[in-house]
Structure 1
Amino acid sequence: MAIAQCPSCNKSISSKHTVCPHCDVELGNISEDELRRLSVRNRIKKQQSITNYSFLALILFLGGFLYMYWQHPVEGSIEMYAAKSAIGIGMVWYLINRVILVILKKKK
């Protein structure tokens, strides 16, 4: 008995399972075409999830920037550190998500 990954949900299952216990996909009589469609569907779901995270990162970045622009916090105050942290974290998070998306799109 070996550990395999379900082609639908990518969770670990036993190689002797005929039906995935996580997503109820029948593994015994699945064709190559269905495997390809499941793989494409999983990749699209992952890309959509990363895109959503990049939007959240962009909102965090813009929130910090706009707070600094409109509120003019005093240098050295907690508000200034929070705004700069939001800008930095949002920017790094956004860039990481975009790199991940490029890598996912190159993998086919």
Structure 2
Amino acid sequence: MAIISCPVCEHRVSNKAEQCPKCKTDLTAATPEKLAAQHRDRMLRQSQSLMNQSMLALLLFLAGFGILYWWQPETGSYNEYVSTAAIALGFCWYVVCRARIIWLKRKK
């Protein structure tokens, strides 16, 4: 008996199991081609989700700069703190998303 990864959710299951206990994928009737296609689909969905998140992070980052540039809030005001926080959060979120995208591509 060996431990394998579920092709859909990557949960560790026995190779004798009929279905994955986590995602309920049928493992007995699955051909290698079908399992590879499910794995590809999951990777594509995850990649698209990360790209969407990186775009939202970039928008947050640019919105923070837009507030600072067009509104020109006074020093120490609430608007200045919000825009600075948006810039910092957007930048960090963007960097993390891009790192996760690179990691996902290497994982393939």
TM-score bin, normalised by smaller chain: 0.7 to 0.9
* RMSD over equivalenced CA pairs, Å: 2.2
Q: Match for residue 88 of structure 1?
A: 88
Q: Distance in 1 between matches of 2:10 and 2:90?
A: 29
- Unaligned ranges ≥5, structure 2: none
The number of aligned residues is 107
Q: Distance in 1 between matches of 2:3 and 2:63?
A: 45
Q: Match for residue 32 of structure 1?
A: 32
- Unaligned ranges ≥5, structure 1: none
Q: Match for residue 101 of structure 1?
A: 101
The alpha carbon displacement at 1:10 in A equals 4.0
Identity level (%): 37
Q: Which amino acid aligns with 2:76?
A: G
Q: Which ranges of 4 or more aligned residues in structure 1 deviate by more than 3 Å? A: 2-6, 9-12, 14-17, 19-25
The alpha carbon displacement at 1:106 in A equals 1.6
State TM-score, norm by structure 2.
0.82
The alpha carbon displacement at 1:7 in A equals 2.1
Q: Distance in 1 between matches of 2:95 and 2:25?
A: 35
The alpha carbon displacement at 1:32 in A equals 1.5
State TM-score, norm by structure 1.
0.82
Q: How does 1:1-108 map onto structure 2 within 5 Å? A: 6-10=6-10, 15=14, 18-20=18-20, 25-108=25-108
Deviation sequence 1:31-85 (CA, Å, 0-9, x none): 1121111111111111111111111101110111101110000011111011001
